[in-house]
Chains A and B, each alone.
Chain A
Amino acid sequence: MTETAPAPLLALSNLSVTFRTVTGSVEAVRDLSFSLAKGETLAIVGESGSGKSVTARAIMGMLAPNARMSDESSVQFKESELTRYSDEEMQKLRGNSISMIFQEPLTSLNPVYRIGEQLGEIIATHRDLSKAAIKARVIELLREVHLPDPEARFAQYPHEMSGGQRQRVMIAMALANEPDLLIADEPTTALDVTVQAEILGLLKSLQKRHGMAMLLITHDLNVVRKMSERVVVMRHGQLVEQGDTAAIFANPQMSYTRHLIDSEPSGEPDPIAGDGEAVLQCHDLNVLYRIRHGGLFARRHLDIEAVKDVTLRLSHGETLGIVGESGSGKTTLGMNLVRLRTPTSGRIEFQGTPIERLTRSQMKPLRPRMQVVFQDPFSSLNPRMIVRQIIEEGLIVNGIGRTTAERLERVKAALADVKMPLSALDRFPHEFSGGQRQRLAIARAIALAPDFILLDEPTSALDLSIQAQIIELLRDLRRKHNLSYLFISHDLKVVRALCHNVMVMQNGRVVEAGPTAQVLERPKTEYTKRLVDAAFRIVSPA
């Protein structure tokens, strides 16, 4: 803290927040102190559970009922002590001189009110303006966040807008009363990569124009690098390091910061070890979803082409990446390829066996050879089973290992493969962190000794440093067991680190395919170029 302004806008000192939970007290933030000058952007960076969101909520006076701030905690805003404010005083402050943007634009707008009403309400609560003046101000705000056709937006409902547009509305809401401090809690995490860049650009330009200070909470180091002047690194609720962004990135003082910076996915895949034989291929695969609409007597069908004429070939030992924005059909394609869904038409061949029309029981003998790891490690493990039962299930079902002891050996070997301790065996999934759960999900797949694993965004729900560990683990396992992967992702950085070849999908179609390096360096289509820009450049002009 070498260049703090004489009277900082916001100063936190000795902030400690404790949560009372069933399993005991948890200290979410411990002795945190930092300050923020007028007009400055400060990023708080840390992994999930590091206490960064709790810090933001503590500043806003919006802590959960089971949270307690310690007596020494102090939050000074414009030189007045917020911890001593009454609820009413805080309410006057929120949305007025301090406002906040939340992570989830899909749920932070009220679905039953029009956009104009919701924005107008924020202004009306804090200012005494006429109806016409409020409407004019709302439209001005919508224009300011670059929403096309702001007059029409005024009367729209949230569901009529995309995620990115809704986040723009949220930003307009936050700006409505020209706050001195804007707290943005992971403002782009829930958005597609290409949208993410636009929103960040918008935030930056608005901040400059209004001279606001911004507290940006994120786990994404790229966002930090592009957006903030100073950075606070947090871990386990404590401050690890703070200082100028450029200085910290160039020369991190603490090993944890260095570790965070180093955990950007890097490296390249090993050369393909296999013999070039096809493990999985599909030809002209189509998946249609039929949506019924129209009235009872005028029923019509609308076919949505989730996957359209996709042909791919995955050879032994290869990792093929499938990338695209959400809704591009990449997960649907994956689920159909492993026959967890049934395609409408086309051919799928797994190790020479046509599988596109096999029933679930006909698929059973093939299952041990093809496995899946799902995106969300929190919903892919049955909460009522212990780890041992979860991993053992496939062995029991497929009659692998005759005795319990034999199966236990295999379960232990799988745990060792994913570098989890044996003490995990008797625990329930909720006792593990996201990264550990993903390891367990991988162990479940590995235990069956498959030849091929479908990885459906296995790292996108995880923190950056955990992501790097999982990628490293996947690389090791590929080498050790000679696996072929189909890797579904929206993150080109991860794809570059892991995949030999890549296939870009948009609206259910393959728009570009080829060796990873070639596609990333010389993208042929505008769409791929946008994805690449978003992944490696982050902030684009608003």
Chain B
Amino acid sequence: MKPISGNADQATGTQDLPERESLGYWALVWRRLRRNAYGMVGMIICAFVVLLAVFAGFIAPYSPENSDPDAIYTPPQVIRVLDENGSLTAPHVLPFTEEFDKQTYELIFAPDRSRPLKIRFFVEGDPWTLAGLTFDTHLIGTESGEHVHFLGTDSLGRDVLSRLIHGTRTTLMMGVLVMLASCVIGTSIGIASGYFGGMFDLVVQRLVEFVKSFPDLPLYLALVAVMPRRAEPIAVFLMFAVILVLLRWADLSREIRGKVISIRATEYVDAAIAVGAGDRRIIFRHILPNTSSHVIVWATYQLPEVILLESFLSFLGLGVQAPMVSWGTMLNQVRDFQSLNAAPWMLAPVAMIILSVLAFNAFGDGLRDAMDPYSND
């Protein structure tokens, strides 16, 4: 968007414009966001989480279903760079030898120093698919192909790290799906309600109030009761998303309605009517673009909320069903004290939840500040 300069300027008039880069709204937003360190850190972590979800198959060492019956509840293995004598060597991990404590009936895992497993990058392993293509290369693994578990294993000997990474995909997909659908529904209903007003507005607003007064937890419980026992996990996942959307669009639609009412009263909308513009043009060219920043900020705040809700409900066993893996279903495995005591590393999803919720909120805050049209500091 470089200003057109040339002889025409002198020829036509008295008004001069400073010769500088012309910045649109989004370019200004980006400039302001870039100066907010907290928001930028949030954005980078968000991008990292999203990448993790998209390339889960590649980044995760194993498939989430790959269970190793010889390694049940094994603790995390640490990458070592020093050998027995304390001198530097290639990065490796130590396998465990299992011993049975006859007094406590506990399994004791002791690192086996005699058999270091060398770490390799880009190793072959479980097949994974992305966009219809099947690959079998993984980011990290051992030279010998023996399993390594950086975050330990669960009760079936499945790799916690791999499940965590694959769980990111499910959780984030749920978040994005719910967010997008409620944005589309909320924005269109909000705009229609605010712009056309009248009876439609009245009915929609009462509907919004009804939805907002609905007790959501019993509704989620009812969902489980209604779903057939043998329902496909993907069907449960979608139903779950639909219920979340049904309960979430209402907030946005009310906010957008208010915004539309104020935009409708601006002089630029009057000016558009004065040149003869119709409803469609006014809605799509004048009103929608001016609500977009609001919708985007709302969306970034929505994502962490859905992440939290998903993990909470899946923890209760209501949300995502096995064999799909999500952060919530992983936490569901440690809901009794014994398993928590035996394998505290299975709380790893908590760290991911905290990290991603903080990151998305930080990003949302940064965006909100950057999009404020009245600040120029």
Contacts and interface: CB of A to CB of B under 8 A. Distances in A.
A372 B270 contact: yes
A424 interface: yes
26 contacts: A23-B376, A65-B377, A335-B270, A340-B273, A367-B275, A367-B276, A370-B274, A379-B266, A381-B268, A382-B286, A383-B25, A394-B277, A397-B276, A397-B281, A398-B275, A415-B12, A421-B9, A421-B15, A422-B4, A426-B4, A427-B3, A428-B22, A428-B24, A436-B15, A439-B15, A444-B271
Interface residues of A, number: 55
Contacts of B6: 422
B344 interface: no
A364 B268 contact: no
A372 B12 contact: no
Interface in B1-19: 1-6, 8-9, 12-17
A338 B274 contact: yes
Contact of B278 (A361, A421, A426): A361
A21 interface: yes
A360 B273 CA distance: 8
B272 interface: yes
Interface of A: 19-23, 64-66, 335, 338, 340, 360-361, 363-364, 367-368, 370-372, 374-376, 379-386, 393-394, 397-398, 415-416, 418-428, 431-432, 436, 439, 441, 444, 448
Interface of B: 1-6, 8-9, 12-17, 22-25, 28, 31-32, 35, 266-268, 270-278, 281, 285-286, 289-290, 373, 376-377
B376 A22 contact: yes
Nearest to A441: B271
Nearest to B271: A380
Contacts of A448: 275
Contacts of B276: 363-364, 367-368, 394, 397-398
Contact of B17 (A375, A393, A427): A427
A22 B271 contact: no
B28 A376 contact: no
Contacts of A381: 268, 271
A419 B12 contact: yes
Contacts of A64: 377
Contacts of A439: 15
A367 B274 contact: yes
B121 to A, nearest CB: 42
Contacts of A360: 273, 278
B22 A427 contact: yes
- 4 interchain residue pairs of minimum CB distance: A394-B275, A419-B13, A367-B276, A66-B377
Given A380-B268, A423-B4, 8 more contacts: A363-B276, A368-B276, A370-B274, A376-B267, A380-B267, A382-B285, A382-B290, A420-B12
A426 B3 contact: yes
Contacts of B3: 423-424, 426-427
Contacts of B32: 22
A444 B273 CA distance: 13
Contacts of B24: 386, 428
A23 B276 CA distance: 36
Contacts of A23: 23, 28, 31, 376
Nearest to B370: A22
Contacts of B290: 382-384
A368 B3 CA distance: 29
Nearest to A370: B274
A65 to B, nearest CB: 7
